Amino acid sequence: MIVLIIAAIVIMVLGFTAYNPLRRKYAGVIGVGGSYIVLLGVMLLFSSIGQIIGSITGKSNVSALEIILGVVIMLLCLGYMVFVMLTRCETVAQRILLPFVACLIGFGFVWRVLAAIVFHTPMESGKPAQGVFPDILYDPSENQFRKVNEGGDNARYYCEKTGQEAFFYASDLADGVPNGWRRG
């Protein structure tokens, strides 16, 4: 029991202190909402294991319906995590770190909100400053896109060669460019 309390305190402190850097670094991969889904899946994983062990040993009075419902929700949440790993993560390191980062972002957001309410501190979400969008981007097919306009947390790009437009939010940026794109 003491080990769990110490682990919870460590995770809370890590989440609180690492929230802003992790949000900025993983802005194009997962947001706070997605982090909550992953966090819920991880918490339900541990809860379901405990419930199943308790039911087998006879030390728990949890019904089979509660266990099944928890396992179904857990599988949906962890399925979302795997989907994000396969579609948004570009490196193996990102895929391995995603569950840990998502949990820290989820925990960190809760503690940041509480600190903002109680101590009147700024939240400092991962929102980048104005002017962070590059003037020229290249898509994965090496087509050049020029920035047409930028407004707050978004920018619109146009490719003269193909006539295509691209629209990005600041949360779509990973290391300063959208996933799969490169700076001009």
| Reported confidence tier of residue 96, pLDDT bands at 50, 70, 90 | very high
Mean pLDDT over 141-157 rounds to 86
Confidence check: pLDDT of 126 > 60 = no
Tokens of 21: 């850097």
Helix axes 92-119, 2-25, angle to 10 degrees: 100
Mean pLDDT over 46-73 rounds to 91
How confident is the model at residue 42, as a pLDDT?
A: 92
Q: Which run of H or E residues covers position 42?
A: helix 32-57
How confident is the model at residue 75, as a pLDDT?
A: 96
How far is 161 from 22, CA to CA, in rounded Å? 36
Share the mean pLDDT of the chain: 85
Confidence check: pLDDT of 129 > 60 = no
Mean pLDDT over 6-18 rounds to 85
Q: What is residue 137's three-state secondary structure?
A: strand
How far is 161 from 79, CA to CA, in rounded Å? 39
Confidence check: pLDDT of 128 > 50 = no
Let me know how long the chain is: 184
Tokens of 14: 């890590």
Percent of the chain having pLDDT more than 90?
33
Confidence check: pLDDT of 2 > 60 = yes
How confident is the model at residue 174, as a pLDDT?
A: 64
How confident is the model at residue 175, as a pLDDT?
A: 66
How far is 164 from 132, CA to CA, in rounded Å? 22
**What does 57-89 look like in DSSP terms, one character per residue?**
HT-----HHHHHHHHHHHHHHHHHHHHHHHHT-
How confident is the model at residue 82, as a pLDDT?
A: 95
How far is 9 from 44, CA to CA, in rounded Å? 19
How confident is the model at residue 131, as a pLDDT?
A: 57
How far is 71 from 16, CA to CA, in rounded Å? 29
Confidence check: pLDDT of 125 > 70 = no
Mean pLDDT over 156-169 rounds to 90
Tokens of 31: 């947001």
Of the two residues 175 and 181, the one the predictor is more confident about is 181
Phi then psi dihedrals of residue 114, to 5 deg: -60, -40
**Which of 43, 26, 32 is closest to 91 using CA atoms?**
26
